[in-house]
């Protein structure tokens, strides 16, 4: 039977696993690379834009790619309990894979700053949830201290196995396109993902699986942009809670990816993020959470001569280029942000004529 059993079974040769590693998988990865005709038209010049729809992973975000590795390696080491700090998706993923492995899971969250859907996930998968009166950076600091105590394995992206698993996304893109894209746009928070993508691209390139490497273009939220400003941000703020991070753990990895690829890092505002989220849903049929829409908002900025930075690689994009935007998490995780906005709705009696009247038809 040729049954897909997730990231480790497909990329075993590129991952630090052995026969002794018990694979803990929920069949993550193999997410669709969806062609986006309207985004492509905006770019013009025969360029093609694809969206890597990571919301279709088992817990609704790309975090599952790294978590299958982190939990499998923890199981190999005989670990009984894992701990993580989270803006929401890491805790959802850790809780699910820990449940699968029969491990305890402790998650430390910034109180009131987690999208409801993500909190519900951590709870239903059976994690012990601790809310603190601090932000994600404070939570990660606590996890580093508690993780040092030896009873717990830390499964944040400071765990190197997370990055290893996450690099599978770029390998999938290469396999689907037959080569690496020319440009790859993605949101940047704790910066593990951009680090992982670049690692995947360079390793697959070295293995002869692609002929070229993409320019990596990262976007941070304007209120949480430490890499952009070149210094940690003490009180990061953005509605895109998954990238509300002031001191990224993978700072160096992100800068290496951007510099070595000839890429670029820029910021987008919350307003631009929300507008891009609605645009992607209503024009391409893809509903993603706000942090994910940062890559689409970023692409729009790159296409706007007046707003983009001088060094933006899209200023010199060649005709026929291929662009991939990663959208990192599913929109349903944070439905509140949509329902808070003033979308028009109609009210009518349970009556055909009244329904048509209210619709103005």
Footprint on this chain of ligand PLP (rule: CB under 6 A): 61, 63, 89, 157, 187-193, 242-243, 289, 291-292, 328-329
Residue closer to ligand PLP by CB (options 276, 317) is: 276
Residue closer to ligand PLP by CB (options 61, 159) is: 61
- C-alpha–C-alpha distance, residues 345 and 66, integer Å: 40
Please name which of 322, 288, 264, 90 lies closest in space to residue 192, comparing C-alpha atoms: 90
CB of 333 to ligand PLP, least distance (A): 8
Residue closer to ligand PLP by CB (options 36, 158) is: 158
Which pair of tokens denotes residue 230? Answer: 């070149």
CB of 171 to ligand PLP, least distance (A): 17
DSSP state letter for 334: G
CB of 101 to ligand PLP, least distance (A): 21
Residue closer to ligand PLP by CB (options 49, 158) is: 158
CB of 291 to ligand PLP, least distance (A): 4
DSSP state letter for 331: G
Cβ atoms < 10 Å from Cβ of 286: 22
Residue closer to ligand PLP by CB (options 190, 261) is: 190
Tell me the C-alpha to C-alpha distance, in Å, between residue 2 and each of 5, 18, 69, 176.
9, 21, 21, 18
CB of 236 to ligand PLP, least distance (A): 12
Residue appearing with tokens 């959802």: 92
314 Cα distance to chain centroid: 22
Residue closer to ligand PLP by CB (options 185, 317) is: 185
CB of 289 to ligand PLP, least distance (A): 5
Nearest residue (beta carbon) to ligand PLP = 329
Phi, psi of 155 (to 5 degrees): -115, 25
Please list, in sequence order, all residues whose beta carbon lies within 8 angstroms of the beta carbon of residue 308, skipping any fewer than 6 positions away.
266, 301, 302, 314, 315
């Amino acid at each position: 039977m040729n049954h897909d059993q997730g990231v480790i079974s497909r990329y075993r040769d590129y991952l630090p696993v052995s026969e002794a590693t018990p694979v803990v998988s929920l069949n993550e990865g193999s997410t669709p690379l969806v062609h986006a005709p309207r985004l492509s038209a905006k770019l013009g010049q025969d360029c093609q834009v694809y969206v890597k729809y990571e919301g279709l992973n088992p817990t609704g975000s790309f975090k599952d790619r790294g978590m299958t590795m982190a939990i499998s390696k923890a199981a190999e080491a005989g670990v009984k309990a894992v701990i993580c700090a989270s803006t929401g998706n890491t805790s959802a993923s850790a809780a699910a894979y820990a449940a699968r492995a029969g491990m305890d899971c402790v998650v430390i969250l910034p109180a009131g700053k987690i999208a409801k859907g993500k909190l519900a996930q951590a709870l239903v998968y059976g994690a012990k949830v601790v809310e603190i009166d601090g932000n994600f950076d404070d939570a990660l600091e606590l996890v580093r201290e508690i993780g040092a105590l030896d009873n717990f394995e830390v499964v944040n992206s400071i765990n190197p196995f997370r990055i290893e698993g996450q690099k599978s996304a770029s390998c999938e893109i290469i396999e689907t396109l037959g080569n690496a894209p020319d440009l790859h746009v993605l949101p940047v928070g704790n910066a593990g993902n951009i680090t992982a993508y670049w690692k995947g691209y360079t390793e697959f390139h070295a293995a002869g699986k692609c002929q070229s490497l993409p320019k990596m273009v990262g976007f941070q939220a304007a209120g949480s942009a430490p890499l952009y400003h070149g210094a940690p941000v003490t009180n990061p703020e953005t509605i895109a809670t998954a990238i509300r991070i002031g001191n990224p753990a993978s700072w160096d990895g992100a800068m290496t990816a951007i510099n070595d690829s000839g890429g670029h890092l820029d910021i987008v505002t919350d307003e631009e993020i929300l507008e891009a989220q609605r645009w992607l849903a209503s024009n391409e049929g893809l509903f993603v959470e706000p942090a994910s829409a940062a890559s689409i908002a970023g692409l729009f900025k790159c296409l706007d001569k007046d707003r983009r930075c001088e060094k933006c690689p899209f200023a010199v994009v060649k005709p026929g280029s291929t662009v991939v935007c990663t959208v990192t998490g599913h929109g349903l995780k944070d439905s509140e942000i949509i329902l808070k906005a003033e979308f028009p709705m109609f009210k009518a009696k349970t009556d055909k004529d009244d329904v048509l009247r209210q619709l103005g038809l």
